[in-house]
Amino acid sequence: MESEISNNTEIESKKRIYHFGEKIRSVREKKHLTLKTVALQAGVSESLVSQIERNRVSPAIDTLLSLANVLDINLEYLFEEYNRRRPVSIIRSGERRTINEEDIMFEEVSAPAEKDGQNTLESYMITIPPKSRTHRGSYGHLGKEVGLILEGSGILHYENERYELDCGDSVTFSAGAPHTLENTGDVPLKAVWTVTPAQKFLG
């Protein structure tokens, strides 16, 4: 008996609750229709329509079809977000992919999405030993970069300019111009860097 209850609980927890009452109410109000008018045309009670709009009840399929017909709503509009995936990606601290550029280490913080696009990004942690500098931005590339200095200090070389960066400083710039990050301190410089669109530096 306890096993059956446990299984039922697990099944219930896996059920996806999807609400579309807000969409129905929004369309109704834009069409300047009252609850009573929609209910009469759909052949249901005004109270039921109100509860559906407030996501208090889930309508039977025939009721939903009637409401969609009355309001001239495309069913794809109502369910367009139902199958949309909202993945959460976690990279554990001991499982980051790394790559070395001479004596500089890049650790993956966020991997680029599988599909290419202008909105993709990648993020990594950079560790630069004293008196060393990055090289991968020497010729510039498309997109933008955002960096946050976590430890140490350094200089961002951007075109013909030099920008001093200390612990806690952040910097944002267009990646089209040549740029490198140099560690001018006596301890390793650590920073989190984000690039968009992703250059897939780590593969």
Question: Higher pLDDT residue, 149 or 6?
Answer: 149
Average pLDDT over residues 42-65: 90
Predicted structure pTM score: 0.57
Q: Report how far residue 135's alpha carbon sits from residue 180's, in angstroms, rounded to the nearest whole number.
A: 6
Question: Higher pLDDT residue, 189 or 22?
Answer: 189
Comparing CA positions, the residue from 147, 156, 154 lying closest to residue 131 is: 154
- Residue 47 confidence class, pLDDT cut points 50, 70, 90: very high
Q: 130-187 pLDDT, tens per residue?
A: 999 998 877 888 889 999 999 999 999 999 999 999 999 999 999 889 999 999 999 9
Mean pLDDT of the chain: 84
Contact of 70 with 38, CB cutoff 8 Å: yes
Q: Report how far residue 31's alpha carbon sits from residue 115's, in angstroms, rounded to the nearest whole number.
A: 38
Res 135: pLDDT: 87
Residue tagged 């280490």 (tokens):
105
Q: Report how far residue 140's alpha carbon sits from residue 158's, in angstroms, rounded to the nearest whole number.
A: 10
Average pLDDT over residues 12-21: 59
Q: Report how far residue 134's alpha carbon sits from residue 101's, in angstroms, rounded to the nearest whole number.
A: 8
